[in-house]
Structure 1
Amino acid sequence: MKAACRGPQAAVFFPPAQFERKEDKLRREARAKEICLTCGVKKECLEYALSIREPHGIWGGLNEAERSRLLAERAG
């Protein structure tokens, strides 16, 4: 309920159903990450995404590849 991503801007956190060009993906992800910067539950969001191994979208300010790297780092 406290997440900054709630509402109409939520669409920028996930890829569209159709093909997305790399430049468009980078812009969309940058916008989502900007929203995450203002979020009061960013840490909880990221930890949730990591715990369930969420394969899609921006969660806690990180995209899929960034979360994967973080999990690998934590695994040591």
Structure 2
Amino acid sequence: MNVLPRTHALPPSPQGGPGGLPCLTTARDVFARSTDEHAAAARQREEAAREVCRACPVRLPCRRHALAERIVHGVRGGLTPDERRSLLADT
């Protein structure tokens, strides 16, 4: 299982780090499911994470990275783990 941070493959900002990416400056807990989370709560959390991703300037590179590395946990690039599995199954 390959679990890398969302910004692992992203180009550094001019300041040397990932900068003010929404997933790093917002409530980070919306991106990963807790072990005791119920399905309805998971859907609400995932939608909140997807909303953060919609405004992100590196959403597509993040999504491509999550698909290429087959990251199985958390919302990445606006896609849930189930959505990524479905996309990968279609290829």
TM-score band (shorter)?
Answer: 0.7 to 0.9
Check if 1:39 corresponds to 2:56: yes
Give the deviation of 1:8 after TM superposition. 4.6
Q: Helix, strand or coil: the match of 2:76? A: coil
> More helix by proportion, 1 or 2?
1
Gaps of 5+ in 1: none
Distance 1:8 1:34 in 2: 11
- Structure 1 segments of 4 or more deviating over 4 A? none
Check if 1:12 corresponds to 2:41: no
Distance 2:62 2:77 in 1: 5
Q: Helix, strand or coil: the match of 1:58? A: coil
- Total equivalences in the alignment: 73
Q: Helix, strand or coil: the match of 1:6? A: helix
Give aligned-pair identity as a percent: 34
Q: Helix, strand or coil: the match of 1:5? A: helix
**Structure (1 or 2) with the larger CA radius of gyration:** 2
TM normalised by structure 2 equals: 0.74
Q: Which residue of 2 aligns with 1:28?
A: 45
Q: Which residue of 2 aligns with 1:61?
A: 78
Give the deviation of 1:70 after TM superposition. 1.1
What is the Cα-based RMSD across aligned positions, in Å? 1.2
Distance 1:65 1:22 in 2: 13
Q: Which residue of 1 aligns with 2:5?
A: none
